Amino acid sequence: MKVFLFVLMATIFEAVGDAVIRIAIAAPRPHMRIGFYLLGTVLLALYGTSLNLAPVEFATVTGLYIATLFVVFQITNYVLLHTAPTLPVMVGGSLIVAGGLTVYLWK
C-alpha cells in the first residue's frame, strides 16, 4: 500500500503540474500566465523530486506507475480542463491499466 500511495502522489504532481502549464499557456493576462507557470513549475519539480527520493526501485513499480498515470491524467483532464475521455481513450486506457497491473503484479 505504501508503494501505491507514493506512486499516486507522484502521478498527481505530474498530471496536475502538466494541466496547470496548459492553463498557463491559455491564460488571458500576463500576471495570470506567470502565476500558473510558477505553480506548474513547482508541481513538476515536486514530481521529479519525489521520483528521485523514492524509497523503492523505480524499475519495480513502472507498470503500476504507468497504469496510475493514465487514470490520474484522465481525472485531471476532466476536472481541470473539462474534457471527458472518448471511447477510444477508455478502451486503450483499459489496456494500459491491464498491462501495467500485469507488469506490477506478475511475480
Least confident of 8-12, 53-57, 90-94: 53-57
Q: Is 13 exposed, middle or buried (0-12, 13-18, 19+ CB in 10 A)?
A: buried
What is the distance between the alpha carbons of residues 30 and 34, in angstroms, rounded to a whole number?
6
What is the distance between the alpha carbons of residues 46 and 9, in angstroms, rounded to a whole number?
10
Residue 74: per-residue pLDDT:
96
Residue 87: per-residue pLDDT:
97
Give the pLDDT mean for 74-80: 94
DSSP code at position 86: P
